[in-house]
Amino acid sequence: MASARCPGCARAFTVPDSPTTGMFQCPGCSRLCRITVAVDATGGTSVQLNALDSSLQAILNRCVPAPAPEPAAEKQAPPRVRLVEKHRCQHSTCKHALPLAIERSEATVVCPACRNATSVYALVFRCELCAALLESPRVLHGVARSCPACTRSIRVPQLELRDRPPWPDHPDYFACDCPSCQGRLVARRGDVGERAVCSHCRVIVVVPSYGTSLRAPSPVVDDPRDVLHSHGTVLCANHTCGAHIPVEVNACPICKQPNRLREYPV
């Protein structure tokens, strides 16, 4: 066996001792070389790897497939929701940090430390500086924290605005529109001026001081005479009688004319 070096990358190889000539492709740089093995007068052998000329090298490169490139490492996609601060187990004997985001306002999860079910309350909002979707424990409302996306200081909003009140016709709530997505929101009168989260687009908005009442309108009366004749007396429908009879009776007690309220004049 004899050793030789590739003229392209200088990598060392061993080739068999044979007085023949052949072709060799370097596994390092994929260069095609010509192997020349010669025997001298003393019986020793010498091996040389000679690079091919450019034209022959180009022809052989088209005929010999190049080695397949190594697969690139897959890049992990960034998380959809970033945690401003980790949630914690609500059990007083545990208080273990929960590393995962729930991506909604509230949920019940199993604590990995104590293996008990615990409730998680969160505020999901967009950073006002970089628009990244963030999640914070609800207990941190109004507290300054660093954005995990842009690392700048932000303030967690106070509350989240939903699209319906706790129960219908609540006197302390009114309807308003989100200035970002024009979605319908319901706000409480006591929260006017607070920084809140829109439940549709997750943008932080300021609760306005105006809106629409949630109370249902008063029912419309079909016939005004139903109200006017709800008490008192009316004239008998028989013009020849002309008696004043109570509204509640079914017929005139004098002429026995049926009492049809809608036919009477006001």
Tokens 């929960």 belong to residue: 98
Q: What are the residue ranges spanned by the domains of the chain?
A: 2-63, 82-155, 159-213, 230-263
Model confidence at 78: pLDDT above 80: no
**pLDDT score of 68 more than 80:** no
Q: What is the pTM of this model?
A: 0.54
| Cα–Cα distance for residue pair 261/264, rounded to 1 Å | 6
Return the amino acid letter for 49: L
203-220 pLDDT tens trace: 999 999 988 888 766 666
What is the amino acid identity at position 55? S
Q: What is the pLDDT of residues 129-188, one digit of tens each?
A: 999 999 999 999 999 999 999 999 999 999 999 988 888 778 889 999 999 999 999 999
Please tell me the predicted confidence (pLDDT) of residue 215: 76
**For position 123, what pLDDT does the model report?**
95
Q: Using alpha carbons, select from 78, 180, 187, 193 the residue that is nearest to residue 133.
A: 78
pLDDT of res. 214 = 82
User: In this predicted structure, which of 6-20, 106-120, 124-138, 146-160 has the lowest mean pLDDT?
Assistant: 6-20
Q: How far is it, in rounded angstroms, from Cα 35 to Cα 19?
A: 10
Q: Which residue has the tokens 């059990």?
A: 91
